[in-house]
Amino acid sequence: MPSYPAPPTPPLALPPGAWDCHMHVFGPFNRFPLAEAGAYAPPLADRGTQLAMLDAAGFDHGLLIQPSSYGSDHRALLDAVAASGGRLRAIGSCDRSVSGEALGALRVKGMRGLRFVEVAWPGGGRYPGTQGLDMLELLRDDMTAAGMHAQLWADLDRCTEAAFSAAAGGMPLVLDHLAGMTALDRPGTYGFDRMADALASGMVWIKLTYLRRSALPLDYGDMQATVAALAEVAPDRILWGSDWPFVRMDARPDPAMLIAQLGAWLGYDALVRCLKANPAALLPGEMP
């Protein structure tokens, strides 16, 4: 499997304490083999390469998301966190077999939440190795007791329903990949306005990870209006993640370009809030 190189140093100076809130680690595969029934073959993107990417892009911290190709095997994820010198935190994936005590132990090791997926993969059904919202309901009490939040990858309708449920139920929720929005979801449309109402609850965050939602690979300009509008209506609820190392993408962007583009769309003050203040509010607690 090919390795994925770190990007060049970006022209935009990021604020101290900036977070990339959506990254993955894969490998080394002789130590951390993939699940046999994975949905894709990822590149080698081990902890050293991942930290090099953070350094080159100017980030102090990163949030690692458990990839479906590892299922509930968190060894690669936790190894990267443990070796990061306090720079990384993690979002895992667990089934009902996990105990409340085990979730508490995972939090001590740097895990701050669990991810749930309601997106179908090309082979049909939910992505192999992921858990759906039904599992969230089973784990909700133990997650709350462990001080964990939920992250969701789903379409806009499902994200909006979950966002209103989170507002009512009191558990923080983070919506991946722009909550499934496209360039057509702008202020005044039903989907955008409902999501804006859900974000106003103060219990929901949305990641402005727009590259998978764009119809313009390596350009992404069609997403500017939607991204800028979300930052305006919910300035304290926006996060950003590179989605490095860009699995299942033919055109892999330079994260530095994405950051510069986001800064141009939002302005520097809003960018600082998105990259620093908001992640700090979502991910409290001492690092392991």
Q: Is residue 7 part of a domain?
A: no
Q: Evaluate whether residue 157 is within a structural domain.
A: yes
User: pLDDT for 14-43, tens place per residue?
Assistant: 999 999 999 999 999 999 999 876 677 889
Answer whether residue 48 shows pLDDT above 90.
yes
Mean pLDDT across the stretch 227-235?
A: 97
Q: Give the pLDDT confidence score for residue 18 in this predicted structure.
A: 96
Quickly list H helices, the chain.
47-57, 75-82, 100-108, 133-146, 156-169, 190-199, 224-233, 255-266, 268-272, 278-282
State the Cα–Cα distance between residues 105 and 107, nearest whole angstrom.
5
- Asked if residue 59 belongs to a domain, the reply is yes
The structural domain count of the chain equals: 1
Q: What is the share, in percent, of the chain residues with pLDDT greater than 90?
A: 81
Flag whether 288 is in a domain.
no
Residue 274, domain CATH: 3.20.20.140
pLDDT tens per residue, range 200-222:
989 999 999 999 999 999 999 99
Per-residue pLDDT band for 4 (boundaries 50, 70, 90) equals very low
Domain-embedded: residue 190: yes
Q: Which of 39-48, 123-132, 161-170, 205-214 has the highest mean pLDDT?
A: 205-214
The mean pLDDT value for 100-111 works out to: 97
Q: How confident is the model at residue 285 (pLDDT cuts 50, 70, 90)?
A: low
What band does 288 get if pLDDT is binned at 50, 70 and 90? Answer: very low
SS3 per-residue string spanning 77-144? HHHHHHCCCCCEEEEECCCCCCCHHHHHHHHHCCEEEEEEECCECCCCCECCCCCCHHHHHHHHHHHH
Q: Tell me what pLDDT residue 205 has.
A: 97
Domain that holds residue 49: 19-282
Residue 10 in domain = no
Domain membership of residue 3 (yes or no) is no
**Is residue 53 included in any domain, yes or no?**
yes
Q: Which two tokens stand for residue 234?
A: 């919910």
